[in-house]
Amino acid sequence: MRVCFYGAVFALFATVGTLMLLTSTTDLPLIQIVLTIVISGGFAIGYAAVSIWQRFWLIPVIGIGEGILFSIVGSHYHSARQLIAPRSPVHQQVQSLALIGMVSTITGYVLFTIFFARQGARYFRAHNEIAMAAEIHRALVPPIYKKLGSFEIYGISVPSGEVGGDLVDVAEYGKSWTGYVADVSGHGVSAGLLMAMFKTAVRTRAGDLSSGDLLAEVHSALYPLKTPNMFATVGVLQWTGQTFNLALAGHPPLLHYVHSEGEVREYPPLDLPLGVLPEETFRSEPVDCQAGDVLLLLTDGLTEVFDKNGKEMGIDPVKDELKKSATLDLDKLSANIREVALNFGKQIDDQTMLIVRCCS
């Protein structure tokens, strides 16, 4: 990119050298034309470089050197043969147009430099924000693959871009644990910070409260801290040591593969997303899980996929794949579900899932 930039500077100011040559009334040797163009473009690169390096005291030095070289070239290469009469109307018009062209070119370069400097600063600020948000997301949402008691648990989040807004986590407390999937609105640093606060709040209280009460506590803690347009859909699956408690706040349904029946049940959401209203309550319901059963929490990035005709995939293909692949390793099951979505249409949102298998 640096070579591209300096090449553009050279080409632009070579034009200035060419316009300067137009003001001459004599027959110019080819070597003089080439040297003038090279000096104009080459010294322009020097001006650009010292400006980038902020060595502004070198600009007068470069200017003196450029003037000396132009004087040497002009005195060494000269021709007595006149092409047009000096100070003739044609000569005066060519000089005027060449001067206007030189002033216009230099002015355009200065304005473009100011524009790119300001836009560049904005770009780097945005780039740094994206890099920071991506780092936050990687730290907050590592892949999960663990065994807790009689359960196998697998969680993964695949962002649609450099930065994701989904969160998957499992917090352990003795023989009990809480797994959850959250989809925070928006992307970038603001979403990443809300995810960090959300994860901290959940891990702080998950061992003391039921899934519904846990969401109420998290909502109360985060609502005053977020921006008005931000919210989060959440699915919480809590193992108490004896049974599962499920809470769904504006989140896609929990899918439950019942091994004994060979069917998939849906548990629809019971409440609004977190952060919609100042005061919210959240309900929980029990989920009975037997050996061979598989529980799947996912975000809408896996169901809100559209084909080339604009048709939405929906949740039914996910249910069919869960039913077909429920006995596979959980990472393979996850890959198959995501492949169903990708085969239907392009990924446009983060795709996140938490899979729990009851082994005994």
Q: What pLDDT is recorded for position 78?
A: 66
Neighbouring residues of 317: CB distance < 8 A, sequence distance ≥ 6: 340, 341, 344
Report the b/e string of 86-98 with b at 16+ CB within 10 A: eeeeebeebeeeb
Task: Please give the structure tokens belonging to residue 87.
Answer: 């100070």
Please report how the helices 316-325 and 330-344 are oriented relative to each other, as an axis angle in degrees rounded to 10.
Answer: 150
What is the residue whose two structure tokens read 């998957």?
168
Q: What pLDDT is recorded for position 80?
A: 61
- Max mean pLDDT among 54-58, 121-125, 138-142 falls in 54-58
Per CATH, the number for 141-358 is 3.60.40.10
Strand partners, 235: 181, 248
Closest by CA to 238, choosing from 150, 360, 356, is 356
Cα-Cα-Cα-Cα dihedral of 83, 87, 92, 94, to 10°? 10
Closest by CA to 245, choosing from 281, 212, 203, 216, is 212
Position 6 pLDDT exceeds 70: yes
Q: How many Cα neighbours within 13 Å face the side chain of 10? A: 10
d(CA 27, CA 25): 7
d(CA 253, CA 180): 13
d(CA 209, CA 202): 10
- Read off the pLDDT of residues 123-137 as tens digits, 9 standing for 90 and up: 777 777 777 767 777
Q: What pLDDT is recorded for position 287?
A: 94
Its pTM stands at 0.69
pLDDT mean over 325-346:
95
Q: What pLDDT is recorded for position 187?
A: 66
| Domain residue ranges of the chain, discontinuous segments joined by + | 2-133, 141-358
pLDDT mean over 41-68:
87
- Read off the pLDDT of residues 266-281 as tens digits, 9 standing for 90 and up: 999 989 999 999 999 9
Position 5 pLDDT exceeds 70: yes
Q: Give 254's pLDDT tier (boundaries 50, 70, 90).
A: very high
Phi, psi of 230 (to 5 degrees): -100, 145
Q: Give 73's pLDDT tier (boundaries 50, 70, 90).
A: confident
pLDDT mean over 5-12:
89
Position 77 pLDDT exceeds 80: no
- Read off the pLDDT of residues 150-205 as tens digits, 9 standing for 90 and up: 999 999 998 877 667 788 999 998 889 999 999 988 766 677 778 888 888 888 88
Closest by CA to 322, choosing from 297, 290, 346, is 297
* Separation of CA 56 from chain center: 36
- Read off the pLDDT of residues 80-120 as tens digits, 9 standing for 90 and up: 677 788 888 888 888 888 889 889 988 888 888 888 878 87
- Read off the pLDDT of residues 291-327 as tens digits, 9 standing for 90 and up: 999 999 999 999 999 999 999 999 999 999 999 999 9
Q: What pLDDT is recorded for position 198?
A: 87
* C-alpha separations of 8 from 35, 198, 338 in Å: 18, 49, 46
Position 76 pLDDT exceeds 80: no
What is the residue whose two structure tokens read 């082994």?
359
- Read off the pLDDT of residues 11-50 as tens digits, 9 standing for 90 and up: 988 888 888 888 887 888 888 889 888 998 898 888 888 8
